[in-house]
Chain A
Amino acid sequence: MSDQPSALISPIPLENVPILQLRARLKTELSDGNRLGLLTAMSSPNGSQIISLLVQTLSGGVRVLISQLPHDAASYASLTPDIPQAHWFEREINDMWGIRPLGHPRLKSLVIHDTYPDNLFPLAQQVSPALMRKRNNRAAYRFSVVQGNGVYEVPVGPVHAGIIEPGHFRFSCLGEVIENLEIRLGYVHRGVEERLTNCDWKAMRHVVEAASSDTAAANAVAHAQAIESLAGVQAPPDIQRLRSACVEIERAACHIGDLGGICNDLGFGAGSAAFAVLRGTVLGIAEMITGSRFMTGVIVPLSHRNMPAKPLCTAAANRLHECRKQLQSTIPLLLQNSSAIERMEGMGVMKHSLAQDFGLVGPAGRASGIDYDVRKVFRLPEYDCMEWQTPNLYDGDVLARAKVRATEATTALDLASVMLASVTPVSAPESVVELPADSAGVGIVEAWRGELIHLILTNSDGVVARYKIKDPSFNNWTALAVAARGNLLSDFPLCNKSFGLSYSGTDL
């Protein structure tokens, strides 16, 4: 075990890989214990570049591969046929840069909808008002058509009936059974990445917090890590511990909230009320140590705003401990409830092998037996107290996801309580950091939905040229579509809730 969090080791190694070799190279790398953390593009004076970020899941490190495309080349050979995880990434590259991945099996828009003007590639060009006024002749989005006798389509959304984010689900059904589900996102594409390359670095932290605002703390931590790794500096250990505590509190609150959501979708009013109350307690603790229920505005590079005093940390640690006890007596309402178990068992199954192909992350991945957890791979010292479970080869159904999330909520409360108890306030000046030229900075955090990556690349002037956020949901949406197949239409909401994905984190 290394005693340094490896993601923060700077500089992040950059390697140039010719675009023609990229596919073969990634293939070998991925069979070698690496994960495709993200795939994106970037503009450079000599033409566009394809950027791949690899996470070494065995040794805990990250590498960035840069593949230069020839000047004014607007396409390259798609990676998806060999590397299924690249599927959505390549659609995004097509949308944002207009670089076509040739041979992509299902190339359609991901986030740039038909409502945008023609030839708008937001990250490849400066978007001018004149361009925005241009006529719109974009081809309408085409949903896959499932043919067959008696197959009918149920379109749902983009505005959903519940209090959740917008997205369009197109179900092709045979009777009540879902034959195929196509998910169309992009409704909450707000231009986060464009904003991040065009704003003051002090404003960046607030933009990343809003990227998927239910994951504000994890995003802020990933941002802080990315800036720190770029600048080659580190925050004091006490601050890092406090940050991790915030991430754990966020994890607990969100998992508890979603367990309540699962109860709600089961029609189990008592359960949903009990979990909602608990979630309120956890948010109250978050408010206590950060001044905000969603822990916004305190986690910053190098420092921590309004560091809570020692007695406050101790009090919060104790309350977390209390809360854990309550959680433990509440979880059986759902997980030892035979009729609830009967409902969840065997529903929305995500097989292990498929989960691997799609590169599933987070609790959803672990419920399908994927043993990948950023906290485990990168070994931050404050997690030393945690006993890591061996791969939990569950069945990948709704029940498994509910179980994993219940367990993680409980351990998160434990961890946060231990971490907070050992935080001693330190003062760390939030000094302005110089960003080096032509370098990369990476932040990687196990957010409550799974692996969250922030990648910052600077240009030759030391200015942020590319800021890429990879939300955990990005990896998991395809899995939801696959898991829904063969289930009943009326079971879909439950299935969806068990994944609990972020729309805004994906759309950015």
Chain B
Amino acid sequence: MLPALLNYLRGARQTRGPVLPDLMDVNRGLPTLTSSPCIHNEGCTTCADGCVSDAISLSTEDTAMVTLDLGKCLACGHCTHACPTGTIAASRITRTAVRQRSNLVLTAGVTSPPAATNMREMFRNSLVVRYVSTGDNATDMEVNACMNPLFDASRFGIQFTASPRFADALLIGGPVPLAMHEPLRATFEAMAHPRLVIAAGMQAVSGGLFTGGYTKADGVGKVLQPDIWIPGNPPHPWMIIHGLLLAMGHPLAFANQLDP
């Protein structure tokens, strides 16, 4: 025990490196749309054919031939590999959280208007988060990882709490099936105003592959109104931290993000 403890104590601090860095090159990342033109008008449907989660829709309109909904994307990597023109390519940015669901829907050449700033000054330096898991335990693990020494969200003033009464933000992972609708609502009701709702991961954003079934697992949006949407399957800890920083209105969240 003692040698192990000394060894531990001698170790360096593990929180290092830049904040919200891009993912490693080996990571598949999430798809994004580039400026290279799509050739759907020449009959290409490769990306949409292989997308099992209906995240990609194609239309013959010249201006918006391909639309990519990151809120449904499984990050399977099919489209980024298969697109012959590079219109869809992998993106490894972790500043992916947005304040409006529609901003997760990318359309080539179209940028959506900036979201209304409803950020609350009062959370700038301190945010207490209550996490509710609703059926995606990989997201649970990534949320846990946010507080570990490698990511250490606590340095931004983020804390997780056991009681909804203490909480400012309700972070939700998983597709929210029927049996969780009431418990989720009750947790939200127990929180003091002002309060924020954050959907973490594609399952929480859209229900993912479970949507439309008898369990009504259609994502958080059907039960509460999220203020922040985080894509990813599961979202990388940095993406979750970006979502939390965005909720705080933290300056670090506002550079190069997906949200205009």
Chain A residues with CB under 8 Å of chain B are: 113, 115-116, 120, 122, 127, 132, 158-166, 186-192, 194-195, 199-200, 202-203, 206-207, 210, 212-214, 216, 257, 270, 273-274, 276-277, 279-280, 284, 287-289, 291-294, 296-297, 305-306, 329-333, 336-338, 502-504, 507
Q: List 10 A-B contacts (CB under 8 A).
A: A113-B179, A165-B133, A166-B183, A187-B180, A210-B203, A214-B137, A288-B26, A294-B138, A333-B4, A507-B135
The residue that B214 contacts in the complex, of A120, A160, A337, with Cβ under 8 A, is: A120
User: Chain A contacts of B135 at CB under 8 A?
Assistant: 165, 188, 190, 503-504, 507
A296 touches B208 (CB 8 A): no
Contacts known (A164-B133, A188-B180); A280 close to B210, Cβ less than 8 A: no
Asked whether B132 is an interface residue with its Cβ less than 8 Å from the other chain, the reply is yes
User: Chain B contacts of A332 at CB under 8 A?
Assistant: 1, 3-4
B177 touches A163 (CB 8 A): no
> CA separation between A186 and B134, bound complex, in Å?
11
Chain B residues with CB under 8 Å of chain A are: 1, 3-5, 7-9, 11, 14, 24, 26-28, 50, 52-53, 74-77, 81, 131-145, 148-150, 160, 162-163, 174-175, 177-184, 186-187, 203, 208-210, 213-217, 233-234, 236
B74 touches A206 (CB 8 A): yes
User: Chain B contacts of A160 at CB under 8 A?
Assistant: 133
User: Chain B contacts of A507 at CB under 8 A?
Assistant: 135
User: Chain B contacts of A163 at CB under 8 A?
Assistant: 131, 133, 140, 143-144, 160
Tell me the nearest residue of chain A to B136, going by C-beta.
Answer: A213
The residue that A161 contacts in the complex, of B14, B77, B145, B163, with Cβ under 8 A, is: B163
> CA separation between A158 and B182, bound complex, in Å?
10
A216 touches B138 (CB 8 A): yes
A202 touches B75 (CB 8 A): no
The residue that B134 contacts in the complex, of A188, A273, A297, with Cβ under 8 A, is: A188
> CA separation between A127 and B214, bound complex, in Å?
7
Residue with the greatest number of chain A CB neighbours at <10 A, chosen from B81, B179, B187: B179
The residue that B26 contacts in the complex, of A115, A210, A291, A503, with Cβ under 8 A, is: A291
The residue that B179 contacts in the complex, of A186, A276, A296, with Cβ under 8 A, is: A186
The residue that A257 contacts in the complex, of B81, B134, B141, B208, with Cβ under 8 A, is: B141
A291 touches B28 (CB 8 A): yes
Residue with the greatest number of chain B CB neighbours at <10 A, chosen from A115, A122, A188, A216: A188
The residue that B137 contacts in the complex, of A165, A195, A297, with Cβ under 8 A, is: A165
The residue that B213 contacts in the complex, of A113, A190, A280, A502, with Cβ under 8 A, is: A190
User: Chain A contacts of B148 at CB under 8 A?
Assistant: 273, 276-277, 279-280
Residue with the greatest number of chain A CB neighbours at <10 A, chosen from B137, B203, B236: B137
User: Chain A contacts of B186 at CB under 8 A?
Assistant: 159
The residue that B178 contacts in the complex, of A113, A158, A288, A296, with Cβ under 8 A, is: A113
Tell me the nearest residue of chain B to A202, going by C-beta.
Answer: B52
Residue with the greatest number of chain B CB neighbours at <10 A, chosen from A165, A202, A212: A165
User: Chain A contacts of B53 at CB under 8 A?
Assistant: 203, 206
**Least CB distance, B155 to chain A, in whole angstroms:** 14
User: Chain A contacts of B213 at CB under 8 A?
Assistant: 127, 190-191, 194-195
B214 touches A122 (CB 8 A): yes
User: Chain B contacts of A292 at CB under 8 A?
Assistant: 27-28, 75
User: Chain B contacts of A333 at CB under 8 A?
Assistant: 1, 4-5, 8
* Minimum-distance CB pairs A-B, first 6: A188-B135, A161-B162, A213-B138, A276-B148, A291-B28, A332-B4
The residue that A276 contacts in the complex, of B50, B131, B150, with Cβ under 8 A, is: B150
> CA separation between A279 and B150, bound complex, in Å?
10
User: Chain A contacts of B181 at CB under 8 A?
Assistant: 115
Contacts known (A166-B183, A257-B141, A276-B149); A210 close to B210, Cβ less than 8 A: yes
> CA separation between A394 and B7, bound complex, in Å?
30
**Least CB distance, A425 to chain B, in whole angstroms:** 15
User: Chain A contacts of B75 at CB under 8 A?
Assistant: 292, 296-297
The residue that B233 contacts in the complex, of A274, A287, A296, with Cβ under 8 A, is: A296
A338 touches B210 (CB 8 A): no
**Least CB distance, B184 to chain A, in whole angstroms:** 8
B179 touches A330 (CB 8 A): no
User: Chain A contacts of B137 at CB under 8 A?
Assistant: 165, 212-214, 502-504
User: Chain A contacts of B74 at CB under 8 A?
Assistant: 206, 296-297
Contacts known (A120-B214, A166-B132); A189 close to B209, Cβ less than 8 A: no
> CA separation between A331 and B131, bound complex, in Å?
29
**Least CB distance, B174 to chain A, in whole angstroms:** 7
B27 touches A291 (CB 8 A): yes
B177 touches A189 (CB 8 A): yes
A203 touches B209 (CB 8 A): yes
User: Chain A contacts of B210 at CB under 8 A?
Assistant: 190-192, 195, 210
User: Chain B contacts of A192 at CB under 8 A?
Assistant: 210
> CA separation between A338 and B28, bound complex, in Å?
44
User: Chain B contacts of A116 at CB under 8 A?
Assistant: 178, 214
B136 touches A504 (CB 8 A): yes
A330 touches B8 (CB 8 A): yes
> CA separation between A277 and B149, bound complex, in Å?
7
**Least CB distance, B135 to chain A, in whole angstroms:** 3
User: Chain A contacts of B209 at CB under 8 A?
Assistant: 195, 199, 203, 206-207, 210
**Least CB distance, B250 to chain A, in whole angstroms:** 21
User: Chain A contacts of B76 at CB under 8 A?
Assistant: 206, 296-297
A336 touches B1 (CB 8 A): yes
User: Chain A contacts of B234 at CB under 8 A?
Assistant: 213, 294
> CA separation between A306 and B80, bound complex, in Å?
12
> CA separation between A164 and B178, bound complex, in Å?
18
User: Chain B contacts of A337 at CB under 8 A?
Assistant: 1
Tell me the nearest residue of chain A to B207, going by C-beta.
Answer: A190
B183 touches A158 (CB 8 A): yes
User: Chain B contacts of A213 at CB under 8 A?
Assistant: 136-139, 234
> CA separation between A429 and B203, bound complex, in Å?
30
> CA separation between A257 and B74, bound complex, in Å?
24
B177 touches A191 (CB 8 A): yes
**Least CB distance, B179 to chain A, in whole angstroms:** 4
B1 touches A200 (CB 8 A): no
Tell me the nearest residue of chain B to A185, going by C-beta.
Answer: B179
> CA separation between A385 and B8, bound complex, in Å?
32
The residue that A166 contacts in the complex, of B133, B139, B145, B208, with Cβ under 8 A, is: B133
Tell me the nearest residue of chain A to B52, going by C-beta.
Answer: A203
A159 touches B132 (CB 8 A): yes
Apart from A194-B214, A210-B203, A329-B3, list 15 A-B contacts with CB within 8 A: A113-B179, A115-B178, A127-B214, A158-B180, A163-B133, A166-B132, A190-B135, A200-B52, A206-B76, A214-B141, A216-B138, A276-B149, A293-B236, A296-B74, A333-B8
